């Protein structure tokens, strides 16, 4: 039984942390169909992506601190139940405005899985063990973005958008049942006994820790780069390089797999600081190379190699950044996880519109490179602090 739990817990937590991105990637291929179904514009249909992202960011900030006071498990199960209800309401929405509102609710509920899974990890592990477990979750997370767009694209040919959302609802049900069998990782003696208002005050208190703050800022810069890639890649690969939607999905899946490869490689480094410096410098080199290749209209296979290298470096930094942030604020793990998780979606909301300004082959490379530069500026002092602690 204990051996089975060693597989069940990482698998469930991995699926929970990948749940938000999976839901978004999975229904991308049916967005054009939804535009016709709701008799709306592509812009309003695409707003459902923004609505989900807002829910994912706000939900982590709302749910994370509550788990420090009331425990992890029952709030997690409640979040998954709310996700199932929201998915059902998405399917039966009468217009695009109702659908987008339900996407916000779906994001809020899905955020519970992301933030609580990370908090549970911080409850169970510490130090290098936590970093190794985060690397394992990162490798598991690499599967969802690989499968989601490809399977979603195949399903778009055999079913309607409601069928795609029925699958999303079914996945939510499975995760709700799995959550019921997870152990409670925050015992009553370790919970915060302050009022709810003071619990939410921990969202600001965690920034007093310089290691936590540097980790969050580096993570925001990482995701500033990453969402610039996500927002620009459909247009670059389909309009500039003339790939089909399925061809784009396969390229997107390959690049997502590389993030998982990078996360798995993080355990090979002797120290978290070395891993971060290597990843930060590599990501900067990769984005600068991409900016050059896109501006000189190089063949797609060369551009893909640059994407692959850049995203491996991005994945390489995720486990140590997450572990450092949560380990440095162990007493406020829920609040720390909420801030850390929401920061990436905030950065994505900032960078995604920028790549559409002017020529996308020019602006996408510039925005990605800017994110990599800022990331390195925070990683260097963070790695110095880690060396000082180790000494």
Contact between 35 and 86 under an 8 Å Cβ cutoff? The reply is no
Mean pLDDT of 28-47: 76
CA distance 47 to 43: 6
Give residue 92's pLDDT: 92
- pLDDT-derived band of residue 84, with 50, 70 and 90 as boundaries? very high
Is residue 91 over pLDDT 70? yes
CA distance 89 to 94: 10
Give residue 323's pLDDT: 84
Mean pLDDT of 91-102: 91
Give residue 3's pLDDT: 57
> What whole-number percentage of the chain has pLDDT above 70?
91
CA distances to 77, 113, 180 from 80, rounded to whole Å, are 5, 7, 10
Mean pLDDT of 243-257: 78
* Predicted TM-score (pTM) of this structure: 0.74
Give 226-246 pLDDT, tens digit per residue. Answer: 888 877 777 788 778 888 767
Give 110-132 pLDDT, tens digit per residue. Answer: 888 888 888 888 788 877 777 77
CA distance 57 to 11: 23
> What whole-number percentage of the chain has pLDDT above 90?
27
CA distance 7 to 238: 39
- pLDDT-derived band of residue 189, with 50, 70 and 90 as boundaries? confident
> What token pair was written down for 312?
């491996």
- pLDDT-derived band of residue 17, with 50, 70 and 90 as boundaries? confident
Give residue 106's pLDDT: 92
CA distance 208 to 201: 12
CA distance 247 to 355: 22
- Higher-scoring residue by pLDDT: 356, 81: 81
Contact between 24 and 299 under an 8 Å Cβ cutoff? The reply is no
- Higher-scoring residue by pLDDT: 206, 157: 206
> Computed from CA positions of residues 40, 44, 49, 51, in that sequence, does the dihedral angle turn out positive or negative?
negative
């Amino acid at each position: 039984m204990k051996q089975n739990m060693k597989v069940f817990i990482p698998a469930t937590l991995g699926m929970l942390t990948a749940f938000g991105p999976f839901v978004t990637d999975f229904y991308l291929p049916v967005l054009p169909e939804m535009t016709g179904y709701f008799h709306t514009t592509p812009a309003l249909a695409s707003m459902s992506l923004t609505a989900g992202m807002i829910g994912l960011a706000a939900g982590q900030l709302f749910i994370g601190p509550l788990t420090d006071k009331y425990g992890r498990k029952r709030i997690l199960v409640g979040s998954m139940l709310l996700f199932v209800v929201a998915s059902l309401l998405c399917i039966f929405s009468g217009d695009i405005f109702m659908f987008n509102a339900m996407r916000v609710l779906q994001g809020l509920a899905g955020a519970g899985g992301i933030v609580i899974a990370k908090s549970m990890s911080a409850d169970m592990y510490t130090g290098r063990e936590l970093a190794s477990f985060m690397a394992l979750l990162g490798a598991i997370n690499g599967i969802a973005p690989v499968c989601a767009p490809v399977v979603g694209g195949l399903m778009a040919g055999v079913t309607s958008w409601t069928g795609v959302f029925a699958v999303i609802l079914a996945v939510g049900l499975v995760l709700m049942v799995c959550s019921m069998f997870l152990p409670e990782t925050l015992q009553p003696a370790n919970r915060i006994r302050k009022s709810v208002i003071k619990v939410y005050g921990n969202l600001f208190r965690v920034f007093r820790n310089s290691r936590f703050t540097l980790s969050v800022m580096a993570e925001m810069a990482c995701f500033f780069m990453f969402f610039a890639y996500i927002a620009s890649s459909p247009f670059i690969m389909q309009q500039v390089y003339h790939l089909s939607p399925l061809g784009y999905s396969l390229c997107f899946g390959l690049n997502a797999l590389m993030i998982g490869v990078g996360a798995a490689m993080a355990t090979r480094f002797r120290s978290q600081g070395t891993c971060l410096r290597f990843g930060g410098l590599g990501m900067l080199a990769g984005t600068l190379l991409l900016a050059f290749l896109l501006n000189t209209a190089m063949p797609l296979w060369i551009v893909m190699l640059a994407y692959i290298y850049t995203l491996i470096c991005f994945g390489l930094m995720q486990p140590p950044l997450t572990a450092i942030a949560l380990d440095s604020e162990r007493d406020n793990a829920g609040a720390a996880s909420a801030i850390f998780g929401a920061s990436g979606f905030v950065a994505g909301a900032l960078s995604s519109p920028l790549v559409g300004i002017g020529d996308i082959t020019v602006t996408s490379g510039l925005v990605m490179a800017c994110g990599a530069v800022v990331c390195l500026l925070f990683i260097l002092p963070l790695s110095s602090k880690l060396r000082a602690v180790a000494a």
